[in-house]
């Protein structure tokens, strides 16, 4: 019996529309093959939404997300805003607003290596072979959302600014529970990353984690300072199974982890929310490649696979997408970020994956 899939499509800026088209074509092909009914609507976010509405996350876009079972998201960002420190509205504010309004408190980023691409990793093959872990980042707290002061000249004539790294027990408890539940389905190992030797907020994280860990006796738990975790990820990435951390640390560590596979164009992510969940590639808007049909669509296609699995509990559908992506990599039917000498276009790679799915 087929399901009805109701999704919001937010392509965003830069290469977002190009890679989104391929992910949408893959989604349509899977729905057709398995007899699901797909209903989707598109909306603006990021720089294109600022240009159209003066708002990076317009209310109409938010309402569409709220009415949808899942959101497929591209990327936001535009050089005209990056290069203007006085801009009142920025594309990235739309992303933060979406996270807050949808209650997207847990960002889940799988990090895995592909056997045929081990040589592309900046790390030695023997270090990255077999690396397969998940970074779980708290997404609605910390410095990004705490009380802040934009640069201002104080009474002493000195310009100053600050951001408050605020966390409450409920915020920490819910993200830790997500981490432990994921670990139970994997290799039963959680690493809690903090800076408890310096930061009060991190000491609360560690205190709460030490209270929750005994409730999961089947899961091995260890604790690591963020600087040590960053080093360990490079020295021994196979050590990790599920890594969980606060917002700022998670932002940095997940970007560091993303290059282990050899290309940022291969990694998807999911943001689990109170109302709906968002599935997006971890790469940015890559404005230099906009309109050139050269960007890697596989991360967005794999984000669609995560959507089938986590939003709709359709494991077989997600597995077929992953199999198709793996097949394209094995056949070296890839974009220039993976093989400059034998590069195919964004649309060609997308079509290859769609055809594989149709023939499977």
Catalytic residues: 144, 195, 227, 251, 255
Element (H, E) at 163: strand 159-163
Q: Are 219 and 188 in contact (CB under 8 A)?
A: yes
- Strand 4-12 and strand 37-42: the pairing is parallel
DSSP state of 164: -
Question: Is residue 299 exposed (0-12), middle (13-18) or buried (19+ Cβ within 10 Å)?
Answer: buried
Q: How far apart are CA 113 and CA 163, in angstroms?
A: 36
**3-state SS string over 98-120?**
HHHHHCCCEEEEEEECCHHHHHH
Phi, psi of 248 (to 5 degrees): -65, -50
Q: What is the dihedral of CA 122, 238, 318, 181, to 10 degrees?
A: -140
Sequence-ordered list of residues with C-beta below 8 angstroms from that of 241, at least 6 positions apart, any chain: 133, 134, 183, 186, 187, 188, 189, 190, 191
Q: Are 184 and 134 in contact (CB under 8 A)?
A: no
DSSP state of 36: P
Q: Which residues pair with 48 in a beta bridge?
A: none
Query: Tokens in use for 132?
Result: 């397969």
């Amino acid at each position: 019996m087929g399901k009805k899939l109701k999704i919001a499509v937010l392509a965003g800026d830069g290469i977002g529309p190009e890679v989104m088209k391929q992910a949408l074509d893959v989604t349509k092909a899977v729905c057709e093959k398995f007899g699901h009914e797909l209903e989707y609507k598109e909306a603006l976010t990021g720089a294109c939404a600022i240009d159209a509405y003066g708002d990076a996350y317009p209310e109409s876009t938010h309402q569409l997300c709220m009415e949808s079972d899942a959101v497929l998201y591209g990327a936001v960002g535009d050089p005209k805003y990056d290069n203007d420190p006085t801009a009142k509205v920025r594309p990235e504010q739309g992303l933060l607003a979406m996270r807050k309004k949808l209650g997207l408190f847990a960002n889940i980023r799988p990090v895995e290596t592909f056997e045929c691409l081990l040589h592309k990793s900046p790390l030695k093959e023997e270090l990255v072979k077999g690396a397969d872990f998940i970074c779980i980042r708290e997404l609605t707290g910390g410095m990004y959302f705490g009380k802040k002061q934009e640069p201002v000249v104080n009474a002493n004539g000195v310009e100053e600014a600050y951001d408050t790294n605020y966390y409450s027990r409920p915020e920490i408890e819910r993200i830790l529970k997500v981490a432990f539940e994921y670990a139970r389905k994997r290799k039963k190992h959680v690493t809690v990353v903090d800076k408890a030797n310096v930061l009060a907020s991190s000491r609360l994280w560690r205190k709460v984690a030490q209270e929750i860990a005994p409730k999961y006796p089947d899961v091995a738990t260890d604790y690591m300072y963020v600087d040590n975790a960053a080093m360990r990820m490079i020295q021994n990435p196979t050590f990790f199974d599920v890594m969980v951390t606060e917002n700022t640390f998670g932002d940095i560590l997940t970007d560091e982890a993303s290059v282990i596979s050899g290309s940022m164009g291969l990694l998807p992510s999911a943001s689990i929310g109170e109302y709906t969940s968002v599935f997006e590639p971890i790469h940015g808007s890559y404005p230099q490649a906009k309109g050139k049909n050269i960007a890697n669509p596989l991360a967005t296609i794999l984000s669609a696979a995560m959507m089938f699995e986590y939003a709709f509990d359709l494991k077989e559908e997600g597995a077929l997408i992953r199999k198709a992506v793996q097949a394209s990599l094995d056949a070296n039917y890839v974009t220039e970020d993976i093989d400059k000498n034998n590069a195919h276009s964004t649309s060609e790679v997308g079509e290859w994956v769609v055809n594989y799915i149709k023939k499977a």
